[in-house]
Amino acid sequence: MLAKILSLSMLTFRDGVRDRAIFGIGLFSLAMMSITLVVIGFFMRELNKVAVDINLSAISLAGLLLTFFLSINLMAKDIDKRTIYCVMSKPFSRAEYIWGKYIGILFIIITAFTVLTMCSTLTIILAKLQYANWFDAFSWIEYYKAIYASFLMFVVLNAVVIFFSSITSSSFITLLFSICIYIAGQTIEEVVIYLKSGAGKETQISEFIQKMIDILQYVLPNFSVFDLKVQASHAIPLPLDYMLGITGYAAVYSVALMIAASLIFNKRELS
């Protein structure tokens, strides 16, 4: 079973890297990083924080573009072009197909993050050479922790994409729901914190909405826990327990979504 999943994942990986979109996304992200060396010269202070924010934002943006413009189309394209029937005619189960697609997409994300991390590292090094006095408090460990946390977010987000792709053949509907889940996952923690604060308690909210928010905070993925830009830019050390916690959270949530996607896809009629 593992060999079948890996073979499908490698097919997905090769199909993904041939897509022209991945080169456009890569060039756009590299351009953003290169602009860092020019942009930080316009700031009067905290140049290290600006450089870190721009580079981490560029990596996150690349991940979002890969997810929304490449990952979504990989599965939809198989169904639209009916190449999925060629796969299903072989001794592959539908669950193996789903897992193969997901792991193949993760291979693409890992490759992209590796290249972007190397380029961002070079960008930061060049920025440090130009403005050495501003990078005294900079921490490479915290910087790479932030990149790793960003990667974990896309592990979960791509599981969300596969989940919705298993329900519908429409790439637009999958894109729409995935973006909604991403936005909700980024803001749900802030909403809960606000409602528990003094100002939030004074806000008139119906009991039904309050219960819905209480449920959604456990159902929706909390993407805000993967955003470590502030900690990286201020060189705030994060404990190992936190990194292990978000790793476990990403793994459990992704596996749960993939199991659900496999069960749904097994029952789905392919026409």
pLDDT one digit per residue (tens) for the chain, 271 residues? 677 778 888 888 887 777 777 777 777 777 777 777 777 767 667 777 888 888 898 899 888 988 888 888 877 776 666 666 666 666 667 788 889 889 999 999 998 899 889 888 988 888 888 877 777 778 899 999 999 999 999 999 999 999 998 888 788 888 899 999 999 888 887 777 776 765 555 566 767 777 777 777 788 899 999 999 989 988 889 999 999 999 999 999 999 999 999 999 888 766 5
Neighbouring C-beta atoms of residue 85, cutoff 10 Å: 11
For the chain, how many structural domains are there in total? Answer: 1
Domain hosting 74: range is 2-267
Query: Is pTM, for the whole model, over 0.75?
Result: yes
d(Cα 139, Cα 130) in Å, to the nearest integer?
17
